[in-house]
Amino acid sequence: MIKGRCECGSVQYEVDGGINDFSHCHCSQCRRLHGAAFASFGGVVRNEFSYLSGEPDLTRYASSDDHIRVFCRICGSNILVELDLEPEALYLAMGHARALTIVTATLLALWFLTGLPN
């Protein structure tokens, strides 16, 4: 079980499952969007993910043709990324996940796998 929330606390979610892969993406979009040297993502099964609160406060930004970034419109926290090419998965921005136990970074960054700008 993974639980997380945005900075203001409006958006809360849980995942009734585990993280399938973990990566630190250093692409230019993630650097700008997260205001950091890289963004950390955990891939989960979409059917195991559910919002507990705050769905009306979500907003979406298409950073490319097949990448939708989901944010809290109140505090600006990055919540997750949806990829058209992987409709069964979601990529959680791991900075706000609680109860995170053991994660192992994958060898290849997300931008390498998906062709995001680097």
Told to check if 25 binds Zn ion by CB under 5 A, we report yes
Closest CA to 49 of 22, 80, 18, 16: 16
Length of the chain: 118
Between 19 and 30, whose beta carbon lies closer to Zn ion?
30
Q: Which of 2, 6, 92, 94 binds Zn ion (CB under 5 A)?
A: 6
Residues 34-93 close enough to bind Zn ion by CB under 5 A: 72, 74-75
Smallest distance, Zn ion to C-beta of residue 41, A: 8
Largest CA distance in the chain: 36
Nearest to 94 by CA among 102, 48, 32, 67: 102
Residues forming beta bridges with residue 51, ordered by sequence position: 13
Q: Which is nearer to Zn ion, 7 or 16 (CB)?
A: 7
> Partners of 10 in the beta sheet?
none
Minimum separation from the CB atom of position 59 to Zn ion (A)? 11
Interface with Zn ion (CB under 5 A): 6, 8, 10, 25, 27, 30, 72, 74-75, 111, 116
